Structures are given as structure tokens and as C-alpha cells.
A = this chain, B = another copy of it.
Amino acid sequence: MEPDILELESFLPYRLYRLADTVSREFSRIYKERQGLTRPEWRTLSGLGERGTMTATELGEQSAMHKTKVSRAVAELEQRRWLTRTPDENDRRVEHLALTKAGLAAYREMVPLAKAFERELLGRLSAGERAAIVTGVAALEEALSAA
């Protein structure tokens, strides 16, 4: 362990990124092939499916997306008639977004696939390893949000 060398292979930021990239890329195949969605679109669908109705800003916060990503994803899903916008009564800048029947159907189709993917992935780990990854990720999330 020379002091002036950085071992990329054991450098946490790199490992985390590579891991997330691999997992995310693999999972994206599902919604890409299945529904032709991009990641921002998938997250939008998933956010609205979960919460029912949200504004673009709320969506961005919930799914950690930049507002331009949200804007474009919403526009695309609207094109597909998977969601509708309803102007807010009191604040005319705000729009409430909600899935249409078609959007909800797509969401319902995706949910079991997503769950299966996660289950399968975690299934390759021992119980202890599963606990470890969950604990570790939660701890880092906490550490980062606090800072």
C-alpha cells in the first residue's frame, strides 16, 4: 500500500459508481426494451405511480432529477398520453401531474418486473450481505444528507 498511489479498485467512490452503473444499466434494459423509456421517463412514471399526483418540482425532489430532465420526461410522457397536467387553482405557475389509464397500466406492468429484478439481485447475496448493503447504503445516505 504505497502512500502515493491510489488503488482505484478499492476506492469507494469509484466502486460505488461502477456498481450503480452496472445495476442501473441492467435494470434499464427492462424499461427500455419493454416500454421504450429513458431513465428520467421511468422515474417520472414510477414517481407518479407511487404517489398519484405530483408537481414537476416535487417529482424532481422525490426522484433526484434536475428540473430540465423532469420537464423533458413529462413532455414525452404527455405525448404518449400517459399523463395529464392540471393547472393549480391558486398558483398558475404550477401544474399537477397524474397518470392516465394508459400510464397507470404501464406502471402496473413495470412494478412486478422491478420488484423481481431487485429480488433476484439481492437473492444472489447471503442474508448477512443483504443486511450489510442496506445498512451501508442507508448510512451513507444519512451521512450525505446531513452534511
| Protomer copies | 2
The secondary structure that dominates the A interface is helix
- Interface residue tally for chain A (C-beta within 8 Å): 58
What is the CA–CA distance of A121 and B8 in the complex, to the nearest angstrom?
16
Chain B nearest CB from A42 CB (Å) reads 10
Q: Is the CB of B125 within 8 A of A129?
A: no
Q: Is B5 in contact with A50, judged by CB distance below 8 angstroms? A: yes
With A15-B141, A23-B16 known as contacts, the answer to whether A4 contacts B136 (CB < 8 A) is no
Binding site for B on A (CB under 8 A): 4-9, 11-24, 26-27, 43, 46-47, 49-50, 62-64, 108, 110-111, 114-115, 117-118, 121-122, 124-126, 128-129, 131-137, 139-141, 143-144, 146-147
